[in-house]
Amino acid sequence: MPKLRVQTEEFDAGGELNLFTQSQFGMGAVVSFSGIVRDVTGGLQSLEIEHYPGMTERAIESILAEAVSRWDLGDALVIHRYGSIPVGAPIMMVATAAPHRSDAFQAAEFLMDYLKSRAPFWKKEVTRQGADWVAAQDHDEDALKRW
């Protein structure tokens, strides 16, 4: 059964991946992705992530259900943080387990594309000069069209 955690606490992406991998039975492939706060412009201190409690869980569960119906998946994991996250810290991770790697890779990419623009999270960049909301990118919306 897919697992979902929405939390403020930092998590250990490597440890989570090991636990996820060890809990599988009969799966030939595990794929994982971790997103990390990156200072693109120089001067970023942290990200403030706001979310919509309730809808966040519903939206991600529906994305997970869609992934399970489209690919031959044994399991999936989504962890997404909210609150204040410093540069270099993990924001989120996705892991998929499948009998074959192609399903695991495709489902992980599908989950990431949908989490970016269909899960109700909003990022604000905090710098010494102030804070500003991150604008959604057209290419993130376009990425959904391939599915």
Which of 10, 12, 39, 50 forms a contact with another protein (CB under 8 A)?
Answer: 50
Q: DSSP states of 95-114 as a string?
A: EEEESSHHHHHHHHHHHHHH
Structure tokens at 28: 């030939």
- Distances from the Cα of 95 to the Cαs of 2, 108, 125, 141, in angstroms? 10, 7, 26, 22
- Is residue 147 part of the contact set for another protein (CB under 8 A)? no
Residue positions counted in the chain: 147
Structure tokens at 52: 């919509």
- Is residue 92 part of the contact set for another protein (CB under 8 A)? yes
Give which of 90, 118, 82 is closest to 32, Cα–Cα: 90
- Decide whether 10 or 141 has the Cβ nearer to another protein: 141
Q: Which residues contact 30 (CB under 8 A, 6 or more apart)?
A: 17, 20, 21, 24, 95, 96, 97, 104
Whole-number minimum distance, CB 128 to another protein, in Å?
20
Stretch that binds another protein, among 22-30, 69-77, 95-103, 109-117 (CB under 8 A): 109-117
- Is residue 95 part of the contact set for another protein (CB under 8 A)? no
Which of 36, 55, 65, 144 forms a contact with another protein (CB under 8 A)?
Answer: 55
Whole-number minimum distance, CB 116 to another protein, in Å?
4
- Decide whether 22 or 129 has the Cβ nearer to another protein: 129
Binding stretches for another protein (CB under 8 A): 35, 50, 52, 54-55, 58-59, 80, 91-92, 112, 115-124, 133-136, 140-141
